[in-house]
Chain A
Amino acid sequence: MVAWRNERAARDARLEAGRAFADGKVVAAGSVTDLLEAVLRPGDRVCLEGDNQKQADCLARGLAACDPARIHDLHMVQSGIVLPEHLDVFETGVARRLDYSYSGPQGARIARMLYGGQIALGAVHTYLELFARYFVDLTPHVALIAGVSADRDGNLYTGPNTEDTPTVVEATHFKNGLVIAQVNEIVERVPRVDIPGDRIDFVVEADRPFYVEPLFTRDPAAMTETQILIAMMAIKGIYAEYGVRRLNHGIGFGTAAIELLLPTYGERLGLKGQIATHWALNPHPTLIPAIESGWVTQVHCFGSEVGMDRYIRERPDVFFTGSDGSLRSNRAFCQTAGLYACDMFIGATLQIDLMGHSSTVTQSRVAGFGGAPNMGSDPHGRRHPSETWMKAGREAQIVGDPALMRGRKLVVQLVETFGEGLVPTFVERLDAMELARKTGLELAPVMIYADDVTHIVTEEGIANLLLCRDADEREQAIRGIAGYTEIGRGRDRAKVEALRARGVIRRPEDLGISPLDADRSLLAARSIKDLVHWSGGLYEPPAKFRNW
């Protein structure tokens, strides 16, 4: 007779083994490793919640302390490789296989471990892609998650950084997996229930609050004239040109500069209400002046940002908040929103090749993807029109029946021609390809493929790739804005001028912008302190950003 409840029985056995270390559902921080050694089995798929921001760090330390003789060869399936412990488990042998999305802070170490063969890498995913696989072929046996507080029944309050938690719990709990949550405190009654208690098997009161990195805070004091020039060009040449209302911004200084120019330069251009009204975005502090100036209708967030909680609570017309008043973020939904409901993604990258492929991988760092490839792709499943989308579609349409035309999402790369240390942004060949060759990856880790990119903006100009009709035009359009990099100096000047005459390339002066006007006095806020003032004192920046 076929047994249909093996997984359920295995889950019950794990639960039973774990109860030895729990009081009801509650486990002391000091017993985490005992608990994990009791409930885990060699070879398990484990999701250790490492989000973009919120980190289940107490559980990560517990896992790293497990005896590799008992717990080994785990298959880690988690979006973020952020903490040192996330990689320590591969050094001890507790874990062996890895499928993940983003590894910014650990990018250099993960590269070394990949080269050294300590990690058996499945793939580097985009967020949505990894989330999707949680429900198909990477379903966790055990999920280790993080929240702000829980009651003794396990009802969980994630706080403003809900992020990946609902997705991870959904996939694990409803498919016979075990969910262990760490919380900063156990309370009588949680402010709101983000995850119902019956989906949480154990609750650990952590020894200290979970770690959150202020990833989305860009100090206006560090913005350069070049970034301001690029931002001015983007606003006038793309936002205004296409009437972009629904959008997502990357996390670089260029897009932060755009946020700070909306209430000043954007206002002067008469664009208020015409552009940048609806956002899929983390609560960037640099968006505060635009919000306070009435530019922003609403913002849905992937996660929160350190210091923004009080401000968000006081702006429920703009942000998604719970009955308790605090932000409700959700990475899976916000990624979906960015993919399907936004007309533009605009962000930075480290390298762009002659076709327009881009990557943030260098040979010594594997930063992973995060969400940019979802945001920065043209979804073929989209079926609703918008002026922006249709205009871009018309520019790209070259053959066929216009009645069958569909729109295009704007995918804009905002880069300076040279990066830190005079490293050129434009290259013949992406480092990602060399990395793929050396590590035996089947797919080169390309952030955004050339066929998704519609515009590249540098301090030298805007290249509209939608208007390029062949590969040669495309290459010259890219060379034509690549400044004094080797790629830029290798341009065919006549062809570039011809592209400029057609509006494929637009220089600052073609847009009526003088580089000499790109001045820091245009920024609505020139310091973190200015942002605090704009927020009426509601924004509480972390100590490292303070100058007072």
Chain B
Amino acid sequence: MPAKMPLDAILAALFPAGHAVTVAEGLITGEGPFGDGRLVVVGIDGDTALGVEGALMLSRAVLDAVKAGESSGSRAPILVAVDSDSQRMSRRDELLGLNECLAHLAKALLLADHLGHPTVGLIYGHSAAGAFIATALATRVLAALPGADPSVMDLPSVARVTKLPLEKLEAMAASTPVFAPGLDNMVATGAVHVVLDPGQPLDAQLRALIADLPPGDIRDRLGRERGGRPVAQVIAERVVSQARGT
């Protein structure tokens, strides 16, 4: 597996003229000059687990960007950069309503998108489960860098839950992208739209993505085309067409 590209290097490549993006306790916020305007960056760095405080801090940053867009009339693109753990697993987080906080973060990103902010996810390290859904997966388009390692659950844990031998799961994982961890499988599923080329300027690649945003949610189509989710699009379309019929 290629090495993970560090956040510093990513930011340097995105903002050749410098930026005001900071990382505090693993939470990324800030912005920098981008093309004619600015690029807002939020995210998670350093394999950090996302808890209630972190989710609300990121959602605050997203809503601030939306507010700025309201007043300026210019909808800045929002980049959600992720190298995270899963959601923080603790009694306290659940007690305080982690599901609401994560959903709120996702809703903030979806609202930004709805109001015209281009939203782009960038997974450059690990991410999993609720943290992934609330961040990078809540953007219009999700890009990855080689070395990214998204997953829902690692294979030993899958083995424990499904009571299948690890060796068998490993063998199955080689041919079945639908359950196995790893970037290639998330690409095949359609969750990750594109893998960027670290050898080319990142800012240009990002600008190209923003210029050519898909019109809506095309992840199930990608999943069918790439073979990682063979039937989802067909089923969803069948539901839509039956619902539209009388």
Do A and B share a direct contact in the complex (Cβ within 8 angstroms)? no
Residues of A within 8 A of B (CB): none
